Chains A and B, each alone.
Chain A
Amino acid sequence: MADVTEKFQQAGPKVQPGAKEEMVYTWPYLVSIEAIMAVTMILALTIMSTFVNAPLLDLANADITPNPAKAPWYFLGLQELLLHMHPALAGVIVPTAALVLLGMIPYIDRDRRGTGIWFSTKKGVPIAVFAAIYTAVIEITLVVVDEFLIIPGIHPDGSKGIGPLLKFGLAKAFGIKEVWTAWIGEILIPIIFMIAIPWILASWVKRRYKANTREVMISLYTFYLTSFVVLSLIGTAFRGESMHLMWPWQVKPPH
C-alpha cells in the first residue's frame, strides 16, 4: 500500500473507486513520530540558543536613524515593494489583498479531486516550476530596471527608475501637471503590473498546459510564494545603505 501515492502521482489522481485506506493505530505510529520530531526540534533550538545570542543594540533613540532602517525579515518583501510604489499600496493594500485572496482559494477551487496528493496531478510540478521561474525572472528584472533605469533628459535630477520616467516623461510630452503623472507612476502602473503578472501567468498556464482550476491555482500560489521569497531575499541581503541595491557582502548588518 505504501507506494500508492507515488503510483497515483505518476498517473494523475486516479484512485480506484472505493479503495480503502490502510489504517494504523495512532499509538505508536503517530505518537512516536511526534515525539521524535518534538525532541529533535527542542534539541536544535537549545543548541542554537546556547551559542547564538539574540541581538540587543543601543537604547532606542528617535534622533539617530540607522541607515538603512529595516523592518523584521518577514516584512522585507513589503518594504521592497515600498521602494517601487506608493506606500499605501505596498504597506496596506497589497498585504490585505494577499490575505483575502489566500482565504478565497478554497472557494474558487472547489473540485475535491486532487486532494491529498502532492501537486495533485502530473502537470502540477512542471506548472509550479514554470510559475516560479516566470515570477522570479520578471520580478528580478523589474527591481533591477527600477533601480538603474536612467534616461538623460527625462531623469534630470539624478532620479532613476520607472516612476520618475513616467512622472517627468509624461509631464513633458503632454504638458500634464507632475502631481498627476507622479500618481500614474506610483499607483496606476504598479497596480497594472501586480494584476497583469499573475493574470498573464494564469492564462499562459491555461493555454500551455491545458490546466484545470487546481492547476491554475498551483501557478498562482507559486507566484505568491516566489514573490515572497524573491522580494524578501532582495530586501534582506541585497539592500544596503539608503536601501540601494548591492551585493550581500557589501550590506552591513545593523549596528
Chain B
Amino acid sequence: MGLWAKFKNTTLYKSIYRNDYPDTPRNQVLVILNSVVLHLHPVKLPRRAVRVSYTWGLGGLSLLMFLILTLTGVWLMFYYVPAVPHGYQSMKFLDTNVIFGPFARNMHRWAAHGMVIAVWLHMTRVFYTGSYKPPREFNWVIGVVLFLVTVLLSFTGYLLPWDQLAYWAIMVGSNMAKVSPVVGTYVQQALLGGFDIGPATLIRWYTLHVILLPLACIALMAMHFWRIRKDGGISTPIPYDEDGETDQLNDNNEGKS
C-alpha cells in the first residue's frame, strides 16, 4: 500500500473526507452533498447550463472578485490608518516599505474595477438570456441591489488613499449628491460628516467600506445564491408551442405576449 493510500485509511483523513474520489455516480453525488462549499450547487444540472457561452461564468467571477477583494483588503487593513493625513502616508509606506505591499494594493485596485465590470456584464447576460422572467423576478431585484452595493463599495474605497485623485473624484461625486431635491443638504451632511470632505468623511467612508457594505454584500449574495436554487436553478428554455397560447406555461405567467 502506497503512503497516500495509507493516509487515506487514517481516522484523520476519514474524518475530513467522507467519500472517495468522485469518479462514480454515487461519489459524484456525495461530494456535492458532503461539502459546504460545493453544496451551493445542485448535484446535477442541465447540460446547457454549464456551457460557458451561456453564462460566461460571470456570476461566479463576480464572487471570485469579492473573495480576492476580501483577502487583499484584510492585508491592506493591517497597514491602513483611516485618518488625515495618515491614510495617505500608509499608502506611501505600503508602496515602498511593505513586502507584497504594492502587489496587494494593485490586486485590490484591479479586482475592484474587475468586480464592477463583471457584475455589470453578468447583469447584461442575465437580461439578454431573459433569465429575469418569472419565477426569477425577485432575484433580479436582489441583483440590482447587489449592483448598487458593488458600485458603492468601489466608490467608498476610492477615497481612502486620500490623494488628489481620490479627493477630487469624490468631490465631483458628492457635489452631485448635494443637489438632491429636498434632502440634498441632509444627504451631504450624512455622507460627508460636515460641509466638506475632511477627516470625518474619511472615517465614515472607511467604516462603510470595510464593514457595512461588505456585510450587506455577503447577506445579499447569500439570498441571491439561495434563490437561484429555489427558482429552479439556472434558467433553461420553457417548453411551449408557438401556436398554442398557454400550454406548459407555469402559473406565474399572466398570459401576456
Contacts and interface: CB of A to CB of B under 8 A. Distances in A.
B129 A71 contact: no
A213 B169 CA distance: 40
Interface residues of A, number: 93
A115 interface: yes
Interface of A: 1-2, 4-5, 8, 12-19, 21-31, 33-34, 37-38, 41-42, 45-46, 48-50, 52-62, 64-66, 69-75, 78-79, 82, 86-88, 90-93, 99, 102-103, 105-107, 109-120, 124, 128, 212-214, 218, 221, 225, 254
B186 to A, nearest CB: 13
Interface size class of B (residues with CB under 8 A): 35 or more
A206 to B, nearest CB: 13
A111 B255 CA distance: 6
A2 B254 CA distance: 31
A55 B44 contact: no
Given A27-B28, A57-B163, A111-B253, A17 B239 contact: yes
A254 B167 CA distance: 12
Nearest to B43: A26
A16 B239 contact: yes
A218 B128 CA distance: 7
A79 B173 CA distance: 8
Contacts of A212: 257
Given A15-B237, A25-B25, A115 B130 contact: yes
B169 A113 contact: no
Interface string B237-248: 111111000011
Interface string B114-135: 1010000001100111111110
Contacts of A41: 61, 64, 114
Interface in B211-257: 235-242, 247-250, 252-257
B47 A2 contact: yes
Nearest to B91: A56
B52 interface: yes
B105 interface: yes
B166 A60 contact: yes
B73 interface: no
Contacts of B194: none
B41 A30 contact: yes
B179 A88 contact: yes
Contact of B162 (A13, A60, A109): A60
Contacts of B88: 59-60
Nearest to A5: B48
A34 B60 contact: yes
B110 A45 contact: yes
Contacts, number: 283
B59 to A, nearest CB: 11
Contacts of A71: 169, 172-173
Contacts of A15: 237-240
A38 B58 CA distance: 11
Contact of B140 (A26, A49, A50, A106): A106
17 contacts: A4-B48, A14-B240, A15-B240, A25-B44, A28-B22, A33-B50, A45-B68, A45-B114, A58-B164, A70-B168, A88-B181, A106-B141, A110-B252, A110-B256, A112-B249, A116-B131, A254-B165
A49 B107 contact: yes
Contacts of B189: none
Given A26-B38, A88-B179, A17 B92 contact: no
Contacts of B191: none
Contacts of A2: 47
A116 B129 contact: yes
B137 interface: yes
The 8 closest A-B pairs by CB, nearest first: A91-B176, A60-B167, A106-B137, A49-B106, A54-B109, A21-B46, A69-B168, A49-B107
B48 A112 contact: no
Contacts of A92: 176-177, 179-181
